[in-house]
Amino acid sequence: MSANLISLLIEATWQTIYMVAASTVLGTILGLPLGVFLATSQRGELLSAPMVNRVLGLIVNAARSVPFIILVVAIIPFTRALVGTSIGTDAAIVPLTIAATPFIARLVENSIREVDAGLIEAARAMGATPMQIIRKVLLREALPGITLGLTLAVVSLIGYSAMVGAVGGEGLGDLGIRYGYQRFMPDVMLTVVVILIVMVQLVQSVGEWIAARVDKRAARNRGH
């Protein structure tokens, strides 16, 4: 493999890391509060707003139902209006964030709903406000699950980032298509696949390590 191709692989790897990191941060900023609200706003819950919960739930389900490659194409006018272009890494972050937000929201919702209801009742009995219960009980207890959920989201975004290469996005997916597929260079395609596999394995390992570190229940069990 030539020095030029190695340089292109390094650049494409950093482009992929940038796209995934930016969309993960933005998707978490949007998806985390949305997931918390969905988990606490059904009838009789901390932030009881059943009608709003149902409407947001439908929107989240609809967004998650759209295949990613169709989403990328469908929102090209929105992407162009937002970042001034529909190609490149900055443009790719828009559909990646839109895809990540409802996904993260559902993962956060599921993690919070797994928290023992007895902890919520105990906090209520001590006079804690709904926001205090959310911050100090629900989010703390659900943190290991949320961490694993975010790990899964990052892994999915790595795969999505490769797909945007088919529609003008940069990164490893674009490199694999332009050189590995269109120019019949299987060594480039193989290298791209290996790099993506390594990235996924690193993210999964780090995510599981962090989740184990923040799992207070496991720490309490070890203490006993």
- At 224 the pLDDT is 45
- At 222 the pLDDT is 47
Residue-by-residue DSSP string for 127-175: T--HHHHIIIIIHHHHHHHHHHHHHHHHHHHHHHHHHGGGGT--SHHHH
Nearest to 1 by CA among 198, 171, 192, 187: 187
Mean pLDDT of all residues in 115-121: 88
Q: Render pLDDT for 90-114 as a digit per residue (tens, 0 to 9).
A: 999 999 999 999 999 999 999 999 9
Q: Render pLDDT for 156-202 as a digit per residue (tens, 0 to 9).
A: 999 999 888 877 778 888 888 888 777 777 888 899 999 999 999 99
Indicate the pTM of the whole model.
Answer: 0.89
- pLDDT at position 210 over 60: yes
Q: Where are the domains of the chain?
A: 3-217
What does the CA dihedral 168, 169, 170, 174 come to, rounded to 10 degrees?
-60
- At 111 the pLDDT is 94
According to the CATH classification, is domain 3-217 in 3.60.21.10? no
pLDDT-derived band of residue 45, with 50, 70 and 90 as boundaries?
confident
